[in-house]
Amino acid sequence: MSTDTIPNTGTALALSGGGARGFAHIPVCEAFDRAGVRPAAIAGTSMGSVIGALYASGMSGATLRSEVTAMFAKATDVMGRMVTARRNRPGIFRFSFANPSPLDPKALLEAFLPDDLPPRIEDLGIPFAAVAVDFHSGEEIVFREGPLIAALAASIAFPPVMRPVEMNGHVLVDGGVANPLPHDVAGGEGLEVVASDVVLLPRVEPGKVPSPVLGLVGAAQILMQAVTRAKAASSPPALLVRPDVNDYAMFDFLKAEKIIATGDAAGAEVEQWLKLHALPERNL
């Protein structure tokens, strides 16, 4: 669908990063479906970009819930998919002492995303933007067109878990470094933004010293929350929801069903808001 068919008015959707916690965005997508409202635009960072792209491709929120739940229900199935991906795409576990990040984000996405996903961002049914960051300049890079998988790979390239993505003269890493919740990217003239934030703060037992890995991830979460608060203070979204995902870590992919369920209350809040504020946008 051409982006020219989408009016520049209505409600946009912004989805934060957060790793596996990003599965809690799915009930927010379901809320748009139940309210009969199609987002005028979608923007996402990291896992939010993946969920946002799938939703923008035409997949319903309910289908997202069922397919993600099934995909991550069994550890053996997930590992089998990764082993098959490694056999078919050797780059998925590239490793060297000079570049120790073990996962190639593009190959990983190709292993888990649907084969029939549109190849380019502009082929999606809803205008979509994925956020990444240039590692060397710190510049926020927003992809609104071009190869979809490459843009998503750049957006999820969380160091040191993922390799940076080299693209268009940039060395790109996870967009959460600069814009964890891209409500400013999703918005535009005449658009109100519903934003879903699942970064939150690290969950550590009071008084307990985190492990080095949890310390690194937790420090990143604290930084991302500071960035989100600053952006929201200067230009708040019309509605901000924060699914209660603090019982789950960003790598808890095998707990997908439970993480999705934590977003149900946020989804109900979004649905109610849409029914009160977004009636003119129904059935666009």
8 A C-beta contact, residue 24 and residue 263: yes
| Cα dihedral value 279, 240, 232, 152, nearest 10 | -90
pLDDT confidence of 91, banded at 50, 70, 90?
low
> Could you give the percent of the chain with pLDDT greater than 90?
62
Of residues 36 and 94, which shows the higher confidence score? 36
Phi, psi angle pair for 148, to nearest 5°: -70, -50
Q: For 44-84, write each residue's pLDDT tens digit.
A: 999 999 999 999 999 999 999 999 999 999 999 888 877 76
Distance (Å, rounded) from C-alpha 180 to C-alpha 197? 8
- Specify the higher pLDDT residue, 275 or 217: 275
Please report, for the chain, how many H helices and E strands are present, in that order. Answer: 10, 8
pLDDT of residue 283 exceeding 60, the answer is: no
Tokens read off for 267 = 């989804």
Task: Output Rg (C-alpha) for the chain, integer angstroms.
Answer: 18
105-141 confidence digits (pLDDT tens): 998 899 899 999 999 999 999 999 999 999 999 999 9
Return d(Cα 28, Cα 55) in angstroms, integer.
Answer: 11
95 — pLDDT class (breaks 50, 70, 90): very low
166 contact partners, CB below 8 Å, separation of at least 6: 172
What are 275's two structure tokens?
Answer: 């029914």
pLDDT digits (tens, 9 = 90+) for 132-150: 999 999 999 999 999 999 9
Write down the pLDDT at residue 83.
74
In degrees to the nearest 10, what's the CA dihedral of 17, 116, 171, 88?
110
Burial of 122 (0-12, 13-18, 19+ CB in 10 A): middle
Across the chain, what does the average pLDDT equal? 85
